[in-house]
Structure formats: structure tokens, C-alpha cells
Amino acid sequence: MRKVIAVLGAGPGLGLSIAHRFGREGFAVALVSRTSARHSAYLKELQGAEARAYAADVRDPEALREVLATITNDLGPIDTVYFGPVTADGGGPIPITDAPAATITAAFETLVHPAVDLVNAVLPDMLARDTGTILIPGGLSGKYPIPMLGALAPASAALRMYVLTLNAALKDRNVYAATLTIGGLIQGGDIHTTATQTYPDVPLPTLNPTDIADAAWTLYVDRAVPEAEFSAIPLPA
């Protein structure tokens, strides 16, 4: 019986690579992004897999629940969700030494709150069916002090711990949560594209999304550990 993966916050980098990897394994793929502008190109790239695309702002709890219900109606119960609604707008990180409380709070609202809304939306059905997987990527600054990422670090740490704690809370159930801890720019993604255009002569810490998607599949199959880590950023000794 074929399963369904919902790739929420789908973009041309990691989201599409996750869709390719799971689609290759026979999953029906639902791509969700804020607009439908690039959906035809995404679906063309996924030829050979059963795939549909939906426009919704998944950071809006009501819109999130509506699109999940539509996917379920169109394709069937959602087995796996990948949640990565990241954008290249908003400017660069503010140094932690200069960050007011409002900036820290805004990072929580951007990174943590939507992930909690996602879990609240999908987990009850997964528990009722006694099956499911939740994959949520996060930043390396949530695990190691990386001053250049500034005020994003507290929210990244909270998101990572939220997923790890969720994994522990579900250890006796057939529902699995894991995080992909990422330190670097995803090749082909919007943030990577913006950065290379802005700094054309600067070597950028870049990661291959295919490698990360392969690791996501391994997490899904093995269900042995709650985290896979990837870094193109030199860490302090």
C-alpha cells in the first residue's frame, strides 16, 4: 500500500530533494508552498512519482489545517510530514550581543511556533492510526554556539529540543519524530541563491540537498536515532 508524504514549505532546495527521495520509494507526494508560482516546474521534476501541489501559508495555523485536510482528502492519510517553511527574506541575523527581546521573540514565532502547530495538527491522527513520521529540520546554532548566526540561536535550540523531546515522548508508540540539524546553505535553495548573488566572490558553506534527503530516508527507515547532523561550517574547538 502506497504512503503519503506532505512536504510543507516546499522549495527548490531540500524540500524538492526530500520529495524526490520519498517519491522514488513509492510515496505519493504533496508539495505545499506559499504560492503556486513554481508548482508546475516542481511537478515536472517529479515526473514518475504521484505528486500534487498546493498553495498555503503553513505558518498560519488555520491555513495549515485546511491544506492538511485537503491533502488527506485527495491522497489519503498522511504518513510522513517534512516541515521546512524557510524564506530568504528578512535580512541577515542580528548579533546576539545586540539583540533585543523582541528580536529573540520574533525568532521563536518564526521557527518554533509553526512547528508546534504542525505537530498539534498531525499527531492526533498519527497516534490514532499508530503510525507516522514527523521530520523537522533546524539550524546548527541550536546545538553549538555559532556567534555569526546571532539571535537565531535560542529559537534554533528550542526547536531542536522540542523535536528531541517529542521523539522521547513517542518512544513507546509507532510514531517517530526526528530533526535534521543543518549548518550551511542548501545548494539550489532560495537562501543559497540569494547569498550567491549578493556575495558572488565569497566561498559559501554549502550542503548537497541530495545527501540530506538520503539521510532523511535512513532516519525514516531505521527510526533508531532522533537526529542527523550536517555541517559545512567550521565549529569552534
- DSSP letter for each residue of 6-29: EEET--TTHHHHHHHHHHHTT-EE
Asked if residue 192 has pLDDT above 70, the reply is: no
Amino acid identity of 11?
Answer: G
CB 14 within 8 A of CB 189: yes
Whether the pLDDT of residue 89 is over 60: the answer is: no
pLDDT on residue 160: 97
Domain-embedded: residue 234: no
> Tens digit of pLDDT for each residue in 202-226?
777 889 999 999 999 999 999 999 9
Q: Find the domain containing 188 and state its range.
A: 4-87+95-227
What whole-number distance in Å separates Cα of residue 26 and Cα of residue 24?
5
At residue 80, φ and ψ (nearest 5 deg) are: -135, 140
% the chain with pLDDT above 90: 75
Q: Which grid coordinates belong to 110? A: 518564526
Asked if the structure places residue 237 within a domain, the reply is no
What per-residue confidence (pLDDT) applies to 120? 98
**Any domain includes 179:** yes
pLDDT at 3 over 50: yes
Predicted confidence (pLDDT) at residue 63 exceeds the cutoff of 50 = yes
Q: How confident is the model at residue 125 (pLDDT cuts 50, 70, 90)?
A: very high
Considering the chain, what percentage of its residues have pLDDT values greater than 70?
Answer: 95
CA distance linking residue 140 with residue 27, whole number of Å: 29
CATH label of the domain that carries residue 108: 3.40.50.720
Residue 51 scores a pLDDT above 60: yes
pLDDT of 44 reads 95
The residue type found at 29 is: V
Rounded to an integer, the average pLDDT of 23-44 is 96
**Site of grid cell 543559497:** 192
Whether the pLDDT of residue 92 is over 70: the answer is no
Whether residue 146 is predicted with pLDDT greater than 90 in this model: the reply is no
Residue 198's pLDDT band (cuts 50, 70, 90)? confident
Please compute the mean of the pLDDT values over residues 79-98 and round it to a whole number.
75
Residue-level pLDDT at 70: 98
DSSP letter assigned to residue 147: G
| pLDDT for residue 90 is more than 50 | no
Return the residue matching grid coordinates 529540520: 137
pLDDT score recorded for residue 236 = 65
233 in any annotated domain:
no
Residues 217 and 25 sit within 8 Å (Cβ to Cβ): yes
Q: Which of 197, 92, 77, 93 is nearest to 132 (CA)?
A: 77
Give residues with Cβ within 8 angstroms of 229, minimum separation 6: 140, 143, 181, 183
The rounded distance, in Å, linking the Cα atoms of 100 and 5 is 38
pLDDT value for 203: 78
- What letter does residue 77 receive in the DSSP assignment? S
Tell whether 232 is covered by a domain: no
Note whether residue 236 is domain-resident.
no
Q: Are residues 121 and 68 in contact, defined by beta-carbon separation less than 8 angstroms?
A: yes
What's the one-letter identity of residue 137? P
**What pLDDT was estimated at residue 226?**
98
Overall number of domains in the chain: 1
Q: Does residue 222 sit within a domain?
A: yes
Would you say residue 176 lies in a domain?
A: yes
Q: Is 37 helix (H, G, I), strand (E, B) or coil?
A: coil
CA angle 193, 43, 1 (to 5 degrees): 125
Reported as a pLDDT band with limits 50, 70 and 90, residue 88 is very low
Q: Give the cell for residue 54.
A: 498546493
Could you read off the pLDDT of 171-181 as tens digits, one per residue? Answer: 999 999 999 99
